[in-house]
A and B are shown apart, each in its own frame.
Chain A
Amino acid sequence: MIRNIDIENFRCFHKTRIEGFSQINLIGGQNNAGKTALLEAILLVNNPNPDSILFLQQKLRGEYGNPEVPERTWSSLFFSFDKQQKANISALAHNQTSYGIKLACQDSIRTPTVTPAISNQDIVKIEDNSTMKDIIESSLIIHQSTQKQIGSSIQIRAIKGEETLFHSATFLPVIHSTFFIPAGFKQTADRLASSYQNLLFKGNEDTVLEALQLIDEKIEKIDIIEKKLHLKRTGEIPMPVGMFGDALNKVIDIIIRIANHPHSILLIDEVENGIHYTHQFELWQRLFQLAKTFDVQIFAVSHSLEMIKAFNAASLEDEFGQNVSYFEMFRSLRSNEIVANSLSKDTLSYAIANNQSFRGE
């Protein structure tokens, strides 16, 4: 589990240290306060591999890059789009081990040799559309260091005219398996089915059913039909999970990821999406229990006052409330740096009861 994180020159962060993460962390704040960027930093420092980078660039931010200007591909990863400055993300785990990554960018122009393909042996070419013209390319170099091993690097290249990216054949060690559920993300029914199948093998399927019954008490059975996840409500025929609302899809996705991946980190952007306020308190209680049972660290982001209230109420009542923290993110007017300030559960409770600000306003 991560206790502290230091982020420098990454996305909207110039230089920020956040200390005191718990097992379950709720992060509030205004738009553009750096909440999603914090989740991204946590993903990258734990799994600094091309999949993570591509996920952040494409699925999360909708940035596919322009093959005609490869030198702009990586800019948005760096503070103020200044890719001349290296980005650093380092973390300290609860067991006092530290690890980190550096991101650097290198642009180059080279004249192709007789063989137009990339000559480096450790570079996998996914698709080859190169020509005999000068090759303009921009490389993102990811350097990882941990206490246990001497640092090692991989790189991802964007090449002019190429629709796809090229990356090193080797991979960096994953520190903690980390899963990111973006805002508005809806997992497909067949992916949910295959994940649910894993749960069946482990005998954890009741966990999901119980959580779903918090949202809809009439759900009595979960089934896989034609490789798709189906839910059956009392007195009704089984229906594909996609036919149910966002809340059920989201809860299934969250619970399955927790139960399938013990000792992992789960990042949830805009956790409140689709979940009615009357279910939020019990959902938090369930998440507290599951996080403890499966030793999963959760970082959830929310704008919703109701969601934060429910989180606070659950943390005050729950026996696992000691493992819970609320962080408020905002930009300091003194230093102009992004700050994540933790509020104790008593202070959050006081702030809610006394109309004090606690969401970056």
Chain B
Amino acid sequence: MTQKLIIVESPNDEAFIRLLLTHLSITNTETATIHPTEIEHLHNFTSSDGKLKRGKDALPEKIEILKRELLIRYPQLRHIAIILDIDTPKSSNGGKEKSLQLINTSFLKAFNISLNLTDTSTKVSTNVTISSETIHLEVSCFFVGDETGEGNLDVVLKKIAKHPCPECECLEIMNECVGQKTGSPMRDFTKQWVNYYLRSQASKSQLKDAEKRLHEVITDNGEILFDLHHPFLHEIKEYLQLE
């Protein structure tokens, strides 16, 4: 029975975390996504205050859904781990402080508790009450990004790509060119880079579905396309081993 649930933003995030869990031989852990596909616009929704919610903005609603799932789906659950892209501090829920605040606010809204989560990779204990049932829970979080405290999973994947990729090198040259001509880099450059990398490694049959379900070609014929021993993964691997 699942004792730990890891909540991530998207299926790509989920596929990567599952890869790491297998690599670390971690069992009794399930993963869940805030959004079920990468096609974001399908799952955006407008909240009652008129705001369009996308990506991790929907964490409060996901945590409220978790309230029922603690009773009906995960009866043994005791640890909720939340892994979010840290994004840029300029965005509405970006950066470490705002991401922590988002998690605390989500639990306050769903369970009416002050979680007081103040740092990443550290568990806090709390009791939540759902319809007369009191459940002891531990909650922790980890934010994915680069060394400067910005970015997302794509930044990590780019760093740990195992094979050379001529297409990616061309894309980098293009990015430089775009930067020179427009004064700013290509939009979603890192995301595009990872897409090109995955496509360059995929077999023809995988490529047919690659654009729709890129997360499924992270491994090709059993070979892992990323260096899971890369030092950059040290922190997240330690976090995943937090029981």
Residues of chain A touching chain B, judged by Cβ–Cβ distance below 8 Å, are: 15-19, 316, 321, 328, 330-335, 337, 339-341, 343-347, 349-358, 360
Contact = CB atoms under 8 A, between A and B. Distances in A.
A100 B33 CA distance: 43
B130 A341 contact: yes
A330 B75 CA distance: 13
Contacts of B67: 341
B27 interface: no
Interface of B: 34-36, 42-48, 53, 58, 60-62, 64-65, 67-73, 75, 130-133, 135
B72 A332 contact: yes
Nearest to A353: B45
10 contacts: A321-B48, A330-B68, A330-B71, A333-B72, A333-B75, A334-B75, A337-B132, A346-B60, A346-B61, A356-B65
A340 B34 CA distance: 23
A354 B57 CA distance: 13
Given A333-B72, A350-B62, 12 more contacts: A19-B131, A321-B48, A328-B68, A333-B75, A334-B133, A337-B132, A346-B48, A347-B60, A350-B58, A354-B34, A356-B65, A358-B68
Contact of B43 (A321, A328, A334, A353): A353
Contact of B64 (A17, A333, A343, A355): A343
B57 to A, nearest CB: 10
B61 A350 contact: yes
A354 B58 contact: yes
Contacts of A347: 60-61, 64-65
B35 to A, nearest CB: 6
Most buried by A among B35, B53, B58, B61: B61
Contacts of B130: 339, 341
B71 A334 contact: yes
Contact of A344 (B64, B68, B69): B64
Given A330-B68, A351-B61, A355-B36, A335 B43 contact: no
A349 B47 contact: yes
